[in-house]
Structure 1
């Protein structure tokens, strides 16, 4: 069933993470998050406490990052994840170590994932695959390994390396088989794309704030 704008907002992580974003941009994110009641607000990590304080009591979660890259050393990922949890972030995302994946070091990926999962016991935990770097077999393998690691969601990518397409979601859906959630992010700008991905089992979306507002409007006007 097609969702209206209000319903869709609940499964959208509204994002303002361009490195030149300002305090005013964070304030605008807070304003729109409250107005539309997005499920999650995603801002620059240095402003997380500002977002958490402003959104307290609204039910809107703030996303914390367990590392800013897949190749960040594990102890740094754990430090960042712990700091985000202690701040009050309701969700944690970390990056898949693509080098480990392509090197066949699956046990190391499971080790990392379980270690972050242990810190984020009470948070929704998602891992970013950066699928533009992976072939179909690697995407499927990554999903299996991350499920073993205890993730709640596998996420396509950040969008910085390329947009998420329908084929990628099809590959992920076939691998996941409904065992964990799928989050699509990167280049999602139309309600038609959202609808098509939901048909394949996507239950969360990461969308830049400006595009998210347009998608919600389109959801109400179709």
Structure 2
């Protein structure tokens, strides 16, 4: 299987420099990855480095906690699109979800999707902090709000993706939404396991190792 086309080559560390972004984009182009994923402050520079390539630019919104205001997330989305984002990876307000503020969570996703327009919206639900029922609720809210993907993790929580997370998410969204697994995916065997479960995209900082190891 060609794993390259599943990979969002990711760099979201706080100490990321412009040189790091340049290297990330060059690697993505050289290995024909689907996209790079960066923090929103690096959108414009990443777009410049990806110029004339087929690699998409995914940008995080409300990252990594999801706890900023709805207005901030919407404005961050708009600016990211102005700066050249092709896709948005937003973090839900996890505290609101756990407080059963389902209407607020759904509204925020819907407003960000509206701001995103034709751009793909991935909704990060941070499964490590959620019960099975909360994972199901989060997926249903993302689906109702019109998002394109539901995504497991930021990679900054207490753990990354798990096969059980994917099983639960797939049961809820079926073929109505796509799924992105991220967090802790560092080898081809693990990536293939997630893809076999129905994952459409893999978020990882280990993309080169994954495609190099893939037989």
Report the Cα distance in structure 2 between the residues aligned to 1:61 and 1:109, rounded to whole angstroms: 27
Counting only pairs closer than 5 Å after superposition, residues 180-191 of structure 1 correspond to structure 2 as: 180-191=177-188
Find the residue that maps to 1:10 and give its secondary structure. helix
Instruction: Flag the 1:143–1:44 CA change in 2: closer, same or farther, 3 A.
Output: closer
Matched, 1:214 2:214: no
Instruction: Flag the 1:22–1:66 CA change in 2: closer, same or farther, 3 A.
Output: closer
Unaligned runs of 5+ in 1: none
Counting only pairs closer than 5 Å after superposition, residues 112-123 of structure 1 correspond to structure 2 as: 112-123=108-119
Residue matched to 1:52: 47
Find the residue that maps to 2:180 and give its secondary structure. strand
Given candidates 7, 17, 22, the residue that maps to 2:17 is: 22
CA contact (8 A) 2:38 2:60 kept: no
Equivalences, count: 213
> What is the CA distance between 1:163 and its match in structure 2?
2.1
Find the residue that maps to 1:198 and give its secondary structure. helix
Deviates most, 125-134 or 57-66: 57-66
Q: Residues 180-207 of structure 1: CA distance to partner in whole angstroms, max 9, x if unpaired?
A: 0000000001111111111111010100
Report the Cα distance in structure 2 between the residues aligned to 1:30 and 1:107, rounded to whole angstroms: 38
Report the Cα distance in structure 1 between the residues aligned to 2:7 and 2:53, rounded to whole angstroms: 15
Matched, 1:163 2:163: no
Report the Cα distance in structure 2 between the residues aligned to 1:17 and 1:114, rounded to whole angstroms: 25
CA contact (8 A) 1:66 1:116 kept: no
> What is the CA distance between 1:33 and its match in structure 2?
1.2
Report the Cα distance in structure 2 between the residues aligned to 1:73 and 1:147, rounded to whole angstroms: 21
CA contact (8 A) 2:39 2:60 kept: no
Q: Residues 40-76 of structure 1: CA distance to partner in whole angstroms, max 9, x if unpaired?
A: 1123432221110121221211122332232211110
Superposition misfits of 4+ residues, deviation over 6 angstroms: none
TM-score (norm. length: structure 1): 0.92
TM-score (norm. length: structure 2): 0.95
Unaligned runs of 5+ in 2: none
